[in-house]
Amino acid sequence: KYTKFSIFYYWINSVGKKTFIDRKLLEIPIPPGEENQTTTRSYSHKTMPLESTSFTGTYYCEVKWNDIAKMGAGVFVLATDAGYIQTSYRWEILLTLITIFAALSITGTGLLLWKRKASC
């Protein structure tokens, strides 16, 4: 009875609309001597990259036997327009160094002029 089951993958968007992504039909034979025992199996599902921010929502999997359905807790996915951007601090470091050198140069010039004026 429990050897044939279906796994459904779907997501629910921010307004509560359920959209099915994929479905797997499986039949797992029970080895002799292991009848009436609970077992755990893992199945992975890869999705395509999200195309827009409208794909933000909670993604679920659900397993259905003849008269039983079990649903996972779900995973919330937030899709953004920019995606992941690698941060580079190259320009910030360069600007900081230029500012420090300019400040030191102005201070040094001021001290030299002040010392020259004081010795005259």
- What are the contacts of 58-62 at 24+ separation with CB within 8 A? 58/11, 58/12, 59/9, 59/10, 59/11, 59/21, 60/9, 60/10, 60/11, 60/12, 61/7, 61/8, 61/9, 62/7, 62/8, 62/10
Name the residue with higher pLDDT: 85 or 22. Answer: 22
Q: What is the pLDDT of residues 64-115, one digit of tens each?
A: 988 889 988 998 887 777 655 666 778 888 889 999 999 999 999 988 888 8
Under CATH, which architecture does the 4-77 domain have? Sandwich (2.60)
The reported pTM is 0.54
